[in-house]
Amino acid sequence: MQYPDTLLLTTLRNAPRRYRMPPLPADAEAATASGTDAALAFAIEAARISSEERGMPPPVEVRLLFTQALARLIQKALVPEGGDPAFQALVMQAQDAAVNEHAQLWRQREADQRAVRAAINAIAHPGKLRRMPGGEVRDALAQLHDLAAGDLWEELAPAIANLLDRKLLELKSFQPALRAILSNPSLDRLARGNELLHLEAVQRYQALGERQGPAAGSDAALLKGRASARRGEAAEETSTRALAKIADLLNRHNKGRASYRVVRSLRNPPAFPGEANKAKEEWDAAIVCGPAGEAAELVLLAEIKASPAAATADFSRLLRGLRRLAEASAEETYAFASADGPARIHGASLRRLLPDGDSLPPHVIYCCSAAPEARPPMLSAASKAVLMAEPASLEFAHRLLAGAQAPPPDSLAAVWQALMTEPRLRAALYQYDTARKARAAMLHPADLLACAARQLGEAPGASEDGP
């Protein structure tokens, strides 16, 4: 497959990679000496290579390395101070029926609250009550509204039942709505949820949740979300500015023979070929070559991330999205909506976006302006979480907490077997390989611009300030 813009491809190939994954330890002995995360990452990658590339089961010593390292990881996660509160909460949920019931009810608590409050507001909203004559009924309805607003669900049901028992004449028109609220399963769940909150085990479980970070919807969570959004916006601004300067460099180098420009936030046309299938459908930035308003060749596609780790989580969606773009017809032109107006792209250039297996094409990159980590994690947090959430891991943790003697690491062999065979653990099996490929395609916009300037014979700041 031929790619256009050799100078641009050379720039992408030669640009330094600040975010590369460190190499795994050379052997099992070195992996053990490097710590728990390194040992697990080494064993997982050895399992992937053995099964995928060599077509044979991994050596027994690799399985032993894996189970021993996973046992150490679980032991560390269970330490009351400095351990993993998310895992400790998961273990509590698996052990305690009341905690498990609380967790199930809590997941739908917001939806239940909305349903009951909407029903109460339909008959007892303060605005409605102000238009009613004073008396027992209005006072009783106001009390119901206060109970719902105050999350006093265990008191709301008796209050409604008591009101219905009073058989007040003025209440007749409200009776069907009140009976519907009283029989609503949402109210039963909310009342039961409040009852469970008094249990000591549930309170300990909630305390573990608070240690994991701000609760969803809280002011702290909103502040955290806004800060994350600002980092994302800053990364996009820095990267698109660098890409625009590279397009200017290319235009000057070609002296009018070609016209390069940046297009932001491209979105797939509604009737684009192929199936979405959880594939990426919006693209952060691209450099295209062609006169404005006319069909253009896509010569570079950039996904912009605020942190290196974000690329690893995004990588599979990116591959699926590229495979779908490559289903374009070479003879067709496709109109993409974008932040810079409609962008018409030649299908032949979209077909060149087809990944080589699970590797990105050379002109598809990640851009990131974050500072590189001192030590990129060899084992992702997501992989740790799914491995420790396996039934055998939770049983291992339960036995650790229940007895003075630790269970043997080989009791975690079921996790090893699941890692090799179960689709739910495929992302964990490929975690190092995915991170390695994603980070190898990740460039800092300043490095990319400097390399382009050198390649095209100009100083990086010859025309404008750096990114």
Cβ contacts of 21 within 8 Å, gap of 6 or more: 376, 378, 432, 435, 436, 439, 440
pLDDT at residue number 466: 43
Give the span between the Cα atoms of 25 and 5, in whole angstroms: 38
- Give helix 97-107 / helix 109-124 axis angle, nearest 10°: 60
Maximum distance among all Cα pairs of the chain, rounded to whole angstroms: 90
pLDDT at residue number 459: 52
Give the span between the Cα atoms of 193 and 176, in whole angstroms: 25
Which residue ranges of the chain lie beneath pLDDT 50? 1-4, 462-467
**Whole-Å CA distances, 50 to 47, 53, 55, 58, 67:** 5, 6, 6, 5, 17
Do the beta carbons of residue 227 and residue 219 sit within 8 Å? no
pLDDT at residue number 129: 86
Do the beta carbons of residue 333 and residue 295 sit within 8 Å? yes
pLDDT at residue number 217: 61
Distance, first Cα to last Cα, the chain:
33
pLDDT at residue number 458: 65
Record the pTM.
Answer: 0.82
- Over its C-alpha atoms, the chain yields an Rg (Å, rounded) of 29
